[in-house]
Structures are given as C-alpha cells and as structure tokens.
Structure 1
Amino acid sequence: MQKHTVVVAESQTLFRDMITSFVEEMEEFQVIGKLKNGQEVIDFIKKMEVRPYICLLDIHMPVMDGMECAKQLKEIFPDTKVVLLSAYDDEESIESVLSVCADGYILKSSGLDEFKETLRFIIEGKFVAPQKLVQYFSKRLDALLQIERESSLHYIKERFNHRTDLNQREWQIIQLMKKGWTNKMIAESLEISEGTVKNYLSIIYKKLHIKNRVELLQMLSKMTG
C-alpha cells in the first residue's frame, strides 16, 4: 500500500511529537518531515525536492506562521493538501483560513478519532472544518446571496412594481446604483461617458419624482427585506 506523505510543522516540541505520533498510527500515512515553522517547511520541500501529499501546519508559529506558509505552498504546489491546526475558532481565524484556500482546519481541542477522521476525509478530496467555521461560512454565503438577490434587475423591477416608464438602460443604471457603483464605474461598465450617465440619472430622478442621488439611494435602501 502506497502511503500518503505528510509534513508536520508545529513550534512546540510536545505537540509536534504528538501530532506526528497520531499520524503515524494511521497506516495510510507516512511522516517525512517534522519542522518548527513555515519557513522550515518551504526550505525542506525545496532542499529535499519532495512534494508532500499533506502539510499539517500550526497557524501560530515564529519566523513564518501557518497562514503565510499555506499561502506560499498553494502558490508553488497547488495540489498539495494544506491542513491548518489551531487552538482558536474565533471569526478572525476563520476568515484567515478561508483566505488561503486551505483544505482543512483542525482545532487542537479535537479528539484523536476526530483528528484521524478529518485526515481521511481530506484525502478523499473533502474540505473539513469545525462546525462553527461551517456555520460562519454558511451565514456569510447567505448574506452574499441576499445582497446578490437584492441587486438583481428582476428584484428591483419587482419592488418598483414593474413600472413601464423606465427603459432598459435606465433600469441598468438603477441596478448598478443599488450595488453602490459610482458614475465612473457605471460609465465604464456600460461603455458610455460619465456625462451620459448623468443625463440618464437626471431623467430617472424626474420619472421617480425625486431630486438627487441621495434620494434615489434612500429609495433603493428601503427595498431590502
């Protein structure tokens, strides 16, 4: 049976030895490197000319932490599985994990069985994370989907009762205004001049019986929910 190679990076000797021991208890893995920080991981891979299947990285390490190491590994070896280890499950840590495209996130408070099960899930190509991280990600996704839904042309037309006195270009400009775009951004997106955008806005204000951009944004902000 060909074993999956693993590099373990943890600044504390006790935890490094414990993690190594846990991994080596699993017949499908072989630890090929025990290192103290992210820089040692990068140097080890380059010097030994090996490409570990999985890198287990503690987030908080000196010299180069797990986050920076994970980022560099994904840039150099995108196929290498990167699993971050941390004692924290706060929102800041969760945000950081998502930003470096890690393949998994394991809390140090996890039980041994959970730790081993997580590694097995990861070699199956699954992203594994604590429930709190998944819930946080789910909430963020729901919020983004809500923003996208409320910025859709259909949603805006529906809130305006599908009034027929606005043409397609005017609807487009209202939609982009709802997204918070400036006149310059709108002009570049629609490939028209800023002056033309201003002219369209003047017409829109007149049709909606409002005076300016502030009133239009206030009208659009009331459409949420």
Structure 2
Amino acid sequence: MTKYTVVVAESQTLFRDMITNFVEDMDEFRVIGTLKNGQEVINFIKEKEVRPYLVLLDIHMPIMDGLECARQLKNIYPNIKVVLLSAYDDEESIETVLSVAADGYILKSSGLEEFKDTLRFIIDGKFVAPPQKLVHYFSERLESLLKLERESSLHYIKEQFNNRKDLNNREWQIIQLMKKGWTNRMIAEQLGISEGTVKNYLSIIYKKLEIKNRVELLQILSDMTG
C-alpha cells in the first residue's frame, strides 16, 4: 500500500509528538519530517528535495508562522496539501485559511477520530474545517451576497430615487450596473453599445440628477446602503 507522506510543523514539542503519533498510527500516512516552524518546512523541502503529499502547520509558530508558510508553499508547490492547526476558535479563522489557499483547518481541541477523519477527507480532495465554523462563515457570506443582490436590484434602486419618471429604461440600467461597480467598458459590453454612448448617457443622467460627475453619482449609490 502506497502511503501519503506528511510533514508536521509545530513549535511545541508535546503537541508535535502527539500529532506525529496520531498520523503515524494511520495506515494511509507516513511522517517524513517533524519541524518547529515554517521556515524549517521551506528549508526541509528545498534541501531534501522532497515533495510531501501533506503538510500540517501550526498557525502560531516563531520565525515563520503557519499562515506565511502555507502562503509560500501554495505559491511554490501548489499541489502540496496544506492543513493549518490552531488552538483558537476565532471568527476570522476560516477566512484566513481561505486567503492563503490552504486545504483545511483543524482545531487542536478536536477528538482523535475527528482528526483522522479530517486527514482522510483531504485525501479525497475535500476542503476541511470545523462544521460550525463553515456553516457560520458561508451563512454570513450568503447573507452578504443576498443583501448586495437586493441593493443592486432595479426595483430597490428606483425606490431609492423615488421612482423618478425622468429617467428612461436604459438610464436605469446604466445606474444599476454602476451600482454593481462596473466600468464604462463593462457596461458597454453588457448593453451592446459603445463606451462613447455610455458616456453620453451618463452626461444625461448627471444633468437629470443635478450632479456634476461619476464621483457624485457613485456617492449617491453608496449612500443608499448606509
């Protein structure tokens, strides 16, 4: 049976030994390196010319922490699986893990079976994280997306402008797309018109709204969300 190679990086000897023992106890894995910080991981991979299948990194380590190490590993060796370990169950953990393109996040307070199951999920190509955190994270993101979608809807925008009758359908479309942060070129491509035509429409919109430029229109649109 081919075993997946693993490197463990943890600054505390006790935790490093425990994690190593947990991994070695699994038939699927073989630990090929136990290190104390992220810089040692980078050096180990370069000097030994090895490509571990999985690297387990404590987030909080001296010299180079797990986040920076994960960032560098994914940049240099994108195929290496990287899982971050943390003792802290804070609100920013999932977003931080995603920002460095890590493959997962495990709390040190996890049970042994949960820890082992997580590593097996990694083999299957799944992103892993504490279920409660994932639910909370994605529910927040969904709520934000729904809010953005609602506030970018034509109905909502018209309401904020008190359903002005002096703006025609094309002008409302352009205002809506500007609300979404689109550039003149993007708007032109979406509506099948030239950038020059978009600029002409904007000049008319500015005049009708009694404003001078794009900055003032964007400020009005920004103020809609409070």
The normalised TM-score by structure 2 is 0.80
Whether 2:139 is the aligned partner of 1:102: answer no
The CA deviation at 1:204 is 4.5
Q: Deviations over 1:39-71 (max 9, x none)?
A: 000110011111100000000000100000000
Q: How does 1:48-63 map to 2 (within 5 A)?
A: 48-63=48-63
Contact 1:51–1:80 under 8 Å retained in 2: yes
The CA deviation at 1:94 is 2.9
Alpha-carbon distance in 2 for matches of 1:219, 1:40: 50
Q: Cα RMSD (Å) of the superposition? A: 3.0
Q: How does 1:103-182 map to 2 (within 5 A)?
A: 103-150=103-150, 152=152, 155-157=153-155, 160=158, 166-179=167-180, 181=181
Alpha-carbon distance in 2 for matches of 1:44, 1:218: 50
Whether 2:218 is the aligned partner of 1:217: answer no
Q: Secondary structure at the match of 1:160?
A: helix
The CA deviation at 1:107 is 0.2
Alpha-carbon distance in 2 for matches of 1:117, 1:62: 29
Q: Secondary structure at the match of 1:30?
A: strand
Call closer, same or farther: CA 1:23–1:219 in 2, change over 3 Å. closer
Q: Secondary structure at the match of 1:52?
A: coil
Whether 2:200 is the aligned partner of 1:201: answer no
- Structure 1: which 5+ residue stretches go unaligned? 207-211
The CA deviation at 1:203 is 4.7
Question: Which residue is equivalent to 2:87?
Answer: 87
Letter in 2 for 1:201: I
The CA deviation at 1:197 is 6.1
Q: Secondary structure at the match of 1:40?
A: helix
Q: Secondary structure at the match of 2:92?
A: helix
Question: Which residue is equivalent to 1:209?
Answer: none
The number of residues matched between the two structures is 211
Letter in 2 for 1:131: P
Alpha-carbon distance in 1 for matches of 2:223, 2:217: 10
The normalised TM-score by structure 1 is 0.81
The CA deviation at 1:21 is 0.3
The CA deviation at 1:81 is 0.7
Q: Secondary structure at the match of 1:56?
A: strand
Contact 2:2–2:28 under 8 Å retained in 1: yes
The CA deviation at 1:14 is 0.8
Contact 1:23–1:116 under 8 Å retained in 2: yes
Contact 1:2–1:28 under 8 Å retained in 2: yes
Matched-pair identity in %: 59
Alpha-carbon distance in 2 for matches of 1:149, 1:21: 49
Contact 2:151–2:225 under 8 Å retained in 1: no
Call closer, same or farther: CA 1:164–1:65 in 2, change over 3 Å. same
The CA deviation at 1:196 is 3.9
Question: Which residue is equivalent to 2:19?
Answer: 19
Q: Secondary structure at the match of 1:69?
A: helix
Alpha-carbon distance in 2 for matches of 1:74, 1:215: 39
Contact 2:7–2:54 under 8 Å retained in 1: yes
